[in-house]
């Protein structure tokens, strides 16, 4: 939804300018795309059934059930659902913490985890179409990058990569895209990568123990503020600053784990960590 169409939204709501992937208004797969509210949250429209209900139930479980408590530190705050009337239509939205809130030069990357992106209930044709998407990345790395935006600190301008480019990424070009997102030519990027690795390792530790659910086609949303990275001088404490974060998002495909580990997620995440470690050591 662009600025023009934002005028059609109820007062206090606008198009969310930091959406880098997922269903959007332009591809006709979402009635609105992601919106933002005046009180600083993002609104994700309910688009598909039963996938949207699965996502809502998962967020509710995380904040209610003890078995799901391990996910709490790694997902955006969930404020329930809200209904907006847009052009005469009642549309339900999930209300979520905005990971990029307050960022001046927001850098955001959506990394979809797992070489299998269909859930076990998917039809044969869904399995086939999913397997055809992001084939090279998923085969090589067990994850793919549907989109990102980065403020390039060398050129002083934003670069964006959408799903068309994302789908072409391979063994050679995916690491280059990752390096671009991380502003690797900037001297302080080492600090950023180090903190991202700490966060990813904490998420991996959780996955190595939880046997409640398996999650398909879910993403890790990387975010940092290039403005703060530019200003950043020395590492003053062990605390990770609020201008960088990684959160798990997109829970349309959550199934019971039957007391087994989710090796599809674990192996994709392990490979992502390995690649970041290689980038950190200058490979």
- Among positions 9, 15, 96, 229, the unique one binding ligand ADP when judged by CB under 6 A: 96
- Among positions 22, 45, 106, 166, the unique one binding Mg ion when judged by CB under 5 A: 22
Burial 80-114 (b: 16+ CB within 10 A, else e): ebeebebeeeebebbbbebbbeebebbbbbbbbbb
What's the closest the beta carbon of residue 226 comes to ligand ADP, in angstroms? 16
Q: Return the one option of Mg ion, ligand ADP, none that residue 221 interacts with (CB less than 5 to 8 A, by type).
A: ligand ADP
Burial 116-142 (b: 16+ CB within 10 A, else e): bbbbeebeeeeeeebeeebebbbebbb
Residue of 47, 10, 41 whose CA lies nearest to 25: 47
Only segment of 16-24, 79-87, 199-207, 258-266 that touches ligand ADP (CB under 6 A): 16-24
Q: Return the one option of Mg ion, ligand ADP, none that residue 76 interacts with (CB less than 5 to 8 A, by type).
A: ligand ADP
CB-wise, 98 or 232, nearer to Mg ion? Answer: 98
- Among positions 71, 76, 151, 166, the unique one binding ligand ADP when judged by CB under 6 A: 76
What's the closest the beta carbon of residue 237 comes to ligand ADP, in angstroms? 25
**92 pairs with which residues across the strands?**
83
Is the C-alpha dihedral spanning 99, 225, 21, 34 positive or negative?
positive
What's the closest the beta carbon of residue 51 comes to ligand ADP, in angstroms? 8
CA distance 181 to 20: 12
Q: Which residues in 208-247 contact ligand ADP (CB under 6 A)?
A: 219, 221
CB-wise, 22 or 175, nearer to Mg ion? Answer: 22
Residue 2 has a CB neighbour count (10 Å cut-off) of: 11
What's the closest the beta carbon of residue 252 comes to ligand ADP, in angstroms? 6
Q: Return the one option of Mg ion, ligand ADP, none that residue 175 interacts with (CB less than 5 to 8 A, by type).
A: none
Angle at 278 between CA 272 and CA 283, to 5 degrees: 140
Is the C-alpha dihedral spanning 59, 65, 67, 71 positive or negative?
positive
- Among positions 97, 188, 240, 271, the unique one binding ligand ADP when judged by CB under 6 A: 97
Q: Which residues in 214-253 contact Mg ion (CB under 5 A)?
A: 250
Instruction: Name the site residues for ligand ADP (rule: CB under 6 A).
Output: 18-23, 34, 42, 44, 76, 96-100, 108, 110, 219, 221, 249-250, 252
């Amino acid at each position: 939804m662009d600025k023009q169409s934002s005028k059609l939204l109820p007062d206090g709501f606008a198009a969310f300018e930091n959406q880098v992937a997922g269903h959007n208004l332009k591809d006709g797969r979402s009635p609105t795309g992601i919106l933002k509210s005046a009180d600083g949250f993002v609104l994700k429209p309910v688009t598909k059934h039963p996938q949207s209900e699965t996502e809502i139930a998962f967020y509710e479980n995380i904040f209610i059930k003890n078995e799901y408590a391990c996910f709490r530190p790694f997902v955006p705050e969930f404020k329930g659902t809200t209904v907006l009337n847009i052009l005469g239509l009642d549309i339900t939205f999930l209300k979520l913490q905005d990971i990029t809130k307050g960022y001046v030069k927001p850098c955001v990357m959506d990394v979809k985890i797992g070489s299998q992106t269909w859930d076990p209930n998917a039809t044969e044709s869904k399995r086939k179409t999913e397997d055809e998407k992001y084939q090279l990345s998923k085969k090589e790395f067990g994850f793919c990058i549907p989109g990102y935006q980065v403020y390039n600190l060398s050129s002083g301008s934003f670069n964006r990569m959408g799903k068309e480019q994302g789908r072409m990424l391979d063994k050679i070009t995916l690491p280059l895209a990752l390096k671009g997102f991380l502003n690797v030519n900037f001297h302080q990027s080492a600090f950023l990568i180090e903190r991202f690795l700490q966060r990813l390792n904490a998420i991996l530790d959780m996955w190595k123990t939880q046997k409640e659910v398996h999650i398909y086609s879910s993403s890790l949303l990387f975010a940092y503020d290039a403005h703060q990275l530019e200003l950043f001088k020395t590492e003053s404490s062990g605390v990770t600053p609020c201008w960088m974060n990684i959160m798990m998002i997109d829970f349309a495909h959550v199934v019971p784990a039957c007391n087994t580990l989710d090796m599809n997620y674990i192996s994709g995440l392990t490979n992502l960590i390995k690649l970041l470690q290689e980038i950190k050591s200058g490979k």
